Amino acid sequence: MAPYLLGLQLDGRRVLVVGGGRVAQRRVPALLDAGASITLVSPSVTPALDDLIADGRVIWERRRYQPGDCDGAWLVHACTSNREANTAIAAEADAKRIWCVRADDKDASAAWTPASGRVDEVGIAVTAGGDPRRAAGIRDAVVSALRDGTVDARRHRTKPVGVALVGGGPGDPGLISVRGRQLLAQADVVVADRLAPRSLLDELPPDVELIDAAKVPYGRFLSQERINELLVEHAKAGRFVVRLKGGDPFVFGRGGEEMIACAQADIPVTVVPGITSAVAVPAAAGVPVTHRGVSQDFHVVSVHVPPGHPDSTVDWMGLARSQGTLILLMAVERIAEIAERLQGDGRSPETPVMVVQDGTLPTQRAVIATLSTVAERVTAAGLRPPAIVIVGDVVGVGQEIEMVRAERVP
C-alpha cells in the first residue's frame, strides 16, 4: 500500500542511527538539519561522519548494535551492511512502537526515507514506490523547477514587493542566477534592457507587462529618467517590478541611479548581482583576465565617449602605462581612437588585443590583433556591438591554451 507521508518535527528528539557507512553519511546531515539529537552506533565511521562527531554534533557509540539501543528513540535508522543486524534492530524498534527505516529492504521497512529537498519554505519529499534513484531524479526536477520559478512562482500568499534590480548576465540565458530567475518568474512588470537575456522573456506568463527599455546606439532610446519613473509608478500601484539588465546592475548598468530614484519614493529594492560581461566574455573566449606571472590586475573601462572627450573621466595615460589587462566596454566603434591613444601614451604597438562580439551566445566570434592592427582587423571582420575589447598579454595566454588543446586532439 502507498505510505502515509508525514513531516516529523525532530528538534531535540533522540534519533538512533546504526551503521557508519555511506548510507548513514547521507542520512545524518538531513537529520541534523531537522534538529535531531543523534546517537550513532557503529564500530567505524566514514571521514565525513567523523568530522560531524568531532564537532560534537553526533554522539558516537564505537561498537556494534546491542539490544536496548532503541530505548528512548523517536526514530531509528538501520543502516548496517549486515542484514541480520538490520532485522534485529527493526524488530526491537517495532516491539517498542518506534518507527524504523531499514536501508537494505524497503519491503521489510516500517518507514521509508524520501528523497527530500528544500527551496525557501517549500519542502519536497518523494518516495517513488521505494525506488531511491527514481525518487531522487523526480526530487531534483521539482526542486529545479521551484528554484527557477517555473513551478508555483506566482501562487504565493505573499509575494515580493517593490522593485528588483536583476543582473541577467552576459547574454546566455543559462548564466542568470537562480535568484534572478525566481524573481523574474514572480514579476507583474518587467522592464528589460536591450542586452538582457531576451529568450527568458518568452517564458513570462501572458499577463506580465513587458516594457522594452532598450537604448539602441544611434536609434530608439528610452531615457533613464523615464525608466526611473516607470519603476516607481508601477511599484506604487502595488505591482512587483523586475528591472532586468544585461551583466550586473552596478557595472555600467545605472543601477545606482534607479536605486536612488526608488529610495526617494520609499520603494523597497532588491538587488540581484549578475555575471558581468567584463569577466564572462573573456572567459567564454578562453582568455583569463589575470594570469600568474602575466597580469595581476585588470581594469574595466566604459568607452561610451572617446578619449579626449570633455565628458571622459578615464585616465588613459595611466592605463597605457599599466601592465594590467584592459577590458573595454562600448569600445568597438571607437577602437581606432583608443588604439592610437594607448600607443601615444606608451603602450607597445605589439600589445595583443582580442575583440569578442556576442560573447557567450551561439553567434560569438572574435578577432585577434595587436594595438597597431586592431582597428583594421575589426573593420575587415565587420564586428559590431555588443563587443568586448581585451588588451594585454593575457590574450597570448588564451592563444597558448588553444594551441595546447589543438596538439592533444588525436
Q: Which residues are catalytic?
A: 193, 215
Grid cell digits, residue 79:
543502516
215-234: buried (b, 16+ CB within 10 Å) or exposed (e) per residue?
eeeeeeebeeeebbebbbeb
How far apart CA 35 and CA 165 sit, in angstroms, is: 36
Give the DSSP letter string of 361-398. Answer: STT-EEEEEETTTHHHHHHHHT--SSEEEEESTHHHHH
Q: Cβ distance 159 to 212 under 8 Å? A: no
- Characterize 87-119 residue by residue with b for buried, 16 or more Cβ atoms within 10 angstroms of its Cβ, and e for exposed: ebbbebbeeeebbbbbbbebeebebbbbbbbeb
Do residues 301 and 314 lie in contact, with contact meaning Cβ atoms separated by under 8 Å? yes
What's the distance, CA 111 to chain centroid? 35
Report the C-alpha gap between 52 and 36 in whole angstroms: 13
Q: How many CB atoms lie under 10 A from the CB of residue 138?
A: 16
Partners of 119 in the beta sheet?
A: 122
